[in-house]
Amino acid sequence: DAVLGQENYHSAFACVRPPGHHATPSRAMGFCLYNNAGVAALHARATYGIQRVAVVDVDVHHGNGTEAFFRDDADLFYASFHQSGDDFYPGTGLAKGAKQGFSRGRELSVNGAKVAGETGINNNVVNCPLGRGAGLRAIRRVMEEKILPALSAFAPGLVIISLGFDALAKDPIGGLNLDPHDYAYLTRSIQDAAQCKLISVLEGGYDVREIARGAVAHVSELARLAKGAKPSDDLRRLRGASVISELSSGESWGSEQSYGDEDDDVNTLVANMSLDSVADGAMARSPTANRMSMDSVAERPATPPLLPQPPPRRS
């Protein structure tokens, strides 16, 4: 509403839980209760008349639920790169002709989506499965050869990024080996191809500090674009994201990592460096359309709060 309504913000990042891209129209699964991106797309259509909505999913898992929402509507577009193989969840989004997608000559479906070969009712579904360890080079290739051209040709009125941070190298579940800074590339390349309003919604991620670092890169890039930078401009590595990455503790959900002075340094960097850069973009008010939805940043106290500290370990 803040992006499409009277406030006319440039973009917005919805830092929400639970995630949503595995939830189908009729079933919750994979930690997802309802499909946030799918609901947002239909809300944009019903409330603001945005007929053509695209979702680009950068989570390490295939968004089987979003695909189920979108595949039969020619005015909805879904694209995803994701890890596949070794029975990686949810087992869908494989390439056309993959042997796992067939049994006795019949196409298989699991978790609300085809196992392999889904292209949608009007070529409005683009799936790019990748092997473990693919890295940025492979992801850039599928983005620039498949996803971005299809997104540009679709010409959406709104693009939604399903923003999973479990593709990061230090995530304990995923294996696509991205660096937090790579999310700045993903953000600006999607904006450049879509040429429309953009919102993002948090999906997966199992290392809380890596989620924070990826979010720093993503929101900093949104702020940069809100201030008038062109998506195609060259961008050197963001200082905050790179320094934070170098100090990474590797702390993950359910791990036995200890918390020392280094973790306090990471929290300070996230709070001070990233919020300063975001606030600059959030307060860009000329023109009004170049504002970013980040009220909590605009209203932050003089001394930014640290990120929540983890609970003490049990002895």
Q: How deeply is 96 buried, as exposed, middle or buried, from its count of CB atoms within 10 A (0-12, 13-18, 19+)?
A: exposed
Among 101, 146, 110, residue whose Cα is nearest residue 128: 146
Q: Are 35 and 23 in contact (CB under 8 A)?
A: yes
The reply to whether 181 belongs to the active site is no
3-state class (DSSP) for residue 96? coil
Q: How deeply is 224 buried, as exposed, middle or buried, from its count of CB atoms within 10 A (0-12, 13-18, 19+)?
A: buried
239-246 and 261-269 are packed helices; what angle lies between their axes, rounded to 10 degrees?
170
Q: How many CB atoms lie within 10 A of CB 173?
A: 16
Residues in Cβ contact with 107 at an 8 Å cutoff, skipping those fewer than 6 apart:
101, 114, 115, 116, 117
Of the candidates 22, 61, 181, 218, the residue annotated as catalytic is 22
Give the Cα separation of 161 and 54 in Å (integer): 8
Total residues found in the chain within this entry: 315
Q: Are 127 and 62 in contact (CB under 8 A)?
A: yes
Among 287, 219, 299, 202, residue whose Cα is nearest residue 9: 287
- Residue 146 sits at φ, ψ, to 5 deg, of -125, -60
At residue 185's C-alpha, the angle toward residues 88 and 166, to 5°, is: 25
- Residue numbers annotated as active site: 22
